[in-house]
Amino acid sequence: MSKPLILVVNDDGVTAPGIRALVEAMAGLGDVLVVAPDSPQSGMGHAITLSKPLRLTQVHHFGEVQAYQCSGTPVDCVKLAVDKVLHRKPDLCVSGINHGSNSSINIIYSGTMSAAMEASLEGIPSVGFSLCDYKHEADFTAAAYYARIVAQSILKDGLPENTLLNVNIPKGKVEELKGLKISRQAKAKWEEEYIQREDPFGRPYYWLTGKFVNHDEGTDTDEWALANGYVSVVPVQHDLTAHKAINFIKEKWRVNVHEDAQDGQVPNQSKEDFSF
């Protein structure tokens, strides 16, 4: 049986300590290949590069492990890796280890998690790892330990269809953490507070800062797990439909809502413009 092929990506860039820790954690689990951004891409969400071409350059940061840096976003890295480097689907995509938490609503801003999401959209079992310590010199030992356990579990048992994982690891030593806890995304948000400054020419500019606020009192959330010393594991889906709201809107709106239309055909659409 051939070895599993493991794609490693991140959003902090190819030289970040977190991706090195993740590559090392995958050692022996399969053939590892790295495609990561050539510069930090935190907060890039699911951005893709449409208006300019991308560069892809081989680098030698990881000893024997084949590695490339890409001039695009984390999502671009996954797309390019699959189409131009691997020429096939890997068996697993691991993203991270991010410098900083991607729990709860952070998932939506996260380049780390968007890369994992993109891999999952490609049909690749995938998982993003984040350490709740944003410092460059953070200790990734426990995060790497759990990344290996989770990767092994996915390679062995797979994941449900259209599902990826968001794994966050608290600060602390391996022996201090309490283990994995399967959780749901907490209902939390950022309250932004822009800092206004003036440039030397008297014109204002704004720095984004903010405060993370968790209003969710559930004990089954990722925030609860992390605050109580567990590694949080949230299964994540691609379907953003608020299914429960469909009937509310159907009933509430007085506009002409056509129900159970039978006069059409299922579309087999194929279009080629990128125009989101």
Residues 15-34 that bind its own copies (CB under 8 A): none
In the complex, minimum distance from the CB of residue 20 to its own copies, in angstroms, rounded to a whole number: 18
In the complex, minimum distance from the CB of residue 32 to its own copies, in angstroms, rounded to a whole number: 22
Would residue 123 be called left, alpha or beta, if left means φ above 0 and alpha means ψ between -120 and 50 degrees? left
Q: What is the CA radius of gyration of the chain?
A: 21
Gap between the Cα atoms of 35 and 101, Å rounded: 22
- Exposed, middle or buried: residue 188 (CB in 10 Å: 0-12, 13-18, 19+)? middle
Cβ proximity to its own copies: between 64 and 263 the closer is: 263
x/- mask, its own copies, residues 114-153, rule CB under 8 A, reads x--x---xx-----------x--------------x---x
- Exposed, middle or buried: residue 255 (CB in 10 Å: 0-12, 13-18, 19+)? exposed
In the complex, minimum distance from the CB of residue 74 to its own copies, in angstroms, rounded to a whole number: 10
In the complex, minimum distance from the CB of residue 207 to its own copies, in angstroms, rounded to a whole number: 5
Cβ proximity to its own copies: between 141 and 194 the closer is: 194
Position 274 contacts its own copies (CB under 8 A): yes
SS3 state of residue 126: strand
Contact with its own copies (CB under 8 A): which of 83, 141, 174, 176? 83
Of 158-197, binders to its own copies (CB under 8 A) are 159-160, 162-163, 165, 178-182, 184-185, 187-190, 192-194, 196-197
How many of the chain's residues bind its own copies (CB under 8 A)? 129
- Contact between 126 and 163 under an 8 Å Cβ cutoff? The reply is no
> What would the two tokens of residue 9 be?
């990506």
> What would the two tokens of residue 54 be?
């991308």
Handedness of CA 150, 155, 160, 165 (dihedral sign): positive
SS3 state of residue 133: coil
> What would the two tokens of residue 149 be?
């356990």
Applying CB under 8 A, the span of 2-10, 60-68, 86-94, 98-106 interacting with its own copies comes to: 98-106
Cβ proximity to its own copies: between 2 and 269 the closer is: 269
Of 193-252, binders to its own copies (CB under 8 A) are 193-194, 196-197, 203-214, 217-219, 223-224, 226-230, 233-246, 248-250, 252
Of 35-64, binders to its own copies (CB under 8 A) are 40, 42-51, 53-56
